[in-house]
Amino acid sequence: MNRTWWKEAVIYQIYPRSFMDSNGDGIGDLQGIISRLDYLKYLGIDVIWLSPVYQSPNDDNGYDISDYQNIMDEFGTMEDFDELLAAAHERGIKIVMDLVVNHTSDEHKWFMESRKSKENAYRDYYIWREGKDAQTPPNNWGSCFGGSAWQYDETTGMYYLHLFSKKQPDLNWDNPKVREEVFDMMTWWCDKGIDGFRMDVISMISKTKEMPDGKNGDFGPYCVHGPNVHKYLQEMNEKVLSKYDIMTVGETSGVTTALAQQYAGEDTHELNMVFQFEHVEGDGKYGKWTDEKIPLITLKETLSRWQTELYGKAWNSLFWDNHDQPRAVSRFGDDRPMYREVSAKMLATCLHMLQGTPYIYQGEELGMTNYPFQSPDDFHDIESINAYKEWCTEGKLSHAVFWPCITFKSRDNARTPIQWDNSPQAGFTVGTPWIAVNPNYTTINAKAETADVNSVFHYYKKLIALRKENPIMVYGKYEALMEDSAELFVYTRAMDNEKLLVVCSFCDHETNFMIPAEFVGTSCLISNVENQYDKSEMTLKPYEAFVLHRK
């Protein structure tokens, strides 16, 4: 297996709107990020993945881009960006940009031209179709954010495709001019010195020519991993990526381990790694919405399969949460005050000891929790707003049934401001934040945690440092133990004559455990509670995690 810097790196995802506000308008910005770089340096991360900072009307918080080569006014200017890049590089931190090129904003100049007439030079930059008749879209596909995936446009009497909101029209990647424009834009950013791209829904860029109705309106078979996706990624690799020492990660929802070997194979010349969702999906009761945890056995089966089937062949990302997911500790751990810290550390251990490149979503290193929503008016996210309307207002479910589900999984959970300290608005802004601060900032905040060596923050710092000292964490071969346990996640990593034993308890009570003979008396690399590991028989504390190292 090739050794590369991006396999050894730890990535930190910044959602700029909620990270740090420097000018009091309540919206995080680039100068705010610059002011917190020393915090990230202290944590020890190697790479920042910056969620979109480009010009955008913010229908989907920057994932609807109206100009790829300018910075969103609310976030600052291109000078601020250049300053951020230089300041990060000075600290040895790389910056990976979010590349959102499955779609643009409907306010992008290409789309504004495209919709003008059927003859417009930009018409074929997007996907236009005639409706079945004046009132009926071309097919039954539903958009990811609810409603039809087709929007009727009066000027030319045709429909355009939008797999996300109607303000996010899909680009037509079959048009060579579109590919050329995108590749030129990417080259422009690479020449500026950025260190890579996280590619938004990159698995959806190629659609089938025929667009039949989908089962229950599902566009998946026609738009996800479509006919030319690998061809286009290889072309992108040849024309752009291969010319720079950058890292690329493809958001590829719905990818299988077999397909991942093509997207992110050691020698397939597409992307460096996939970012796949199988371990955080499939739990929905109503669409994606649920108030239940994924059973540990299911979670382990999924994660183990990805570990085993990619070993030596392809590379994966490791994450519990991001800006589209609820907070890790609330979803996979236990956010009740007495268990929050210990379970957050357990989850961190479990993830960082797996094979793949770990991602920390901003605030996860503090053990930030889901938000206590009081009413649907608290939502800002287009997905939550539309979903509440679709499921409740339109009468499919009662509020009482749906409310616990939408609040458990709303993307807004991850989007509340970073809790920097215990001053008003958690030190995020001196103004009024665009989205409310979680009231638990008085106890959960970066100032308190950086000052306390036993905090979740310091635990993450230690895990990151251990990764630098122990290549086995990156390259060791994975093996699952105790696969039938519904309470413990236990596995080993092996490389040369070294071996790690990773033991994580996912339950809120004590459990008995037998340390395998070969690890009795070996050294403890890290643990989240005080315990003895010198005898085989032992009792694990609630949410205990430890790693033994045999050399």
Catalytic residues: 200, 251
Q: Per-residue contact track with ligand TEU, 154 to 173, x per CB under 6 A?
A: ----------x---------
CA 215 – CA 142 distance, rounded (Å): 10
In the list ligand TEU, Ca ion, none, the entry touching 80 (Cβ below 5 to 8 angstroms by class) is none
* Cβ atoms 346, 328 nearer than 8 A: no
Least CB distance to ligand TEU at residue 201 (A): 5
Q: Please state, in angstroms and rounded to a whole number, the distance separating the CA atoms of residues 77 and 23.
A: 13
Q: Would you call 11 helix, strand, or coil by DSSP? A: strand
Q: Is 60 in the site for Ca ion (CB under 5 A)?
A: no
Cβ closest to ligand TEU, residue 414 vs residue 504: 414
Parallel/antiparallel/unpaired status of strands 247-251 and 273-275: parallel
Q: Closest CB to Ca ion among 21 and 341? A: 21
Residues near 376 by Cβ (< 8 Å), separated by ≥ 6? Answer: 385, 388, 392
- Count the residues of the shown chain that bind ligand TEU, applying the rule CB under 6 A: 14
DSSP string computed for 277-329: -GGG-S--SBTTB-SSPPPHHHHHHHHHHHHHHHTTTB-BEE-S--TTS--HH
Question: Does 381 engage in binding with ligand TEU (CB under 6 A)?
Answer: no
CA-based nearest residue to 24, from 440, 412, 419, 425: 425
- Looking only at residues 195 through 234 of this chain, which bind ligand TEU when binding is defined by CB under 6 A? 200-201
User: Residues 10, 29, 223, 410: which binds Ca ion (CB under 5 A)?
Assistant: 29
544 lines the binding site for ligand TEU (CB under 6 A): no
* Comparison of 28 and 476: residue with beta carbon closer to Ca ion: 28
Q: How far is CA 496 from CA 53, 324, 463, 472, 550, in A?
A: 44, 39, 22, 9, 11
CA proximity to 175, closest of 137, 134, 126, 135? 126
Q: Which residue among 23, 237, 268, 522 contacts Ca ion (CB under 5 A)?
A: 23
25 touches, from ligand TEU, Ca ion, none (C-beta below 5 to 8 Å by class): Ca ion
CB atoms within 10 A of CB 214: 17
Comparison of 16 and 138: residue with beta carbon closer to Ca ion: 16
Q: Does 63 bind ligand TEU (CB under 6 A)?
A: yes
59, 60, 80, 321: which one binds ligand TEU (CB under 6 A)? 60
CA distances to 38, 40, 494 from 52, rounded to whole Å, are 22, 19, 38
What's the min distance (Å) between Cβ of 495 and Ca ion?
46
CA 443 to chain centre: 26
493 binds, among Ca ion, ligand TEU, none (CB under 5 to 8 A by kind): none
390 or 449: whose CB is closer to ligand TEU?
390
Determine contact, residues 533/486, Cβ cutoff 8 Å: no
- Shortest distance, CB of residue 200 to ligand TEU, whole angstroms? 5
Site for ligand TEU, rule CB under 6 A: 60, 63, 100, 144, 164, 200-201, 251, 253, 288, 323-324, 383, 411
Site for Ca ion, rule CB under 5 A: 21, 23, 25, 27, 29
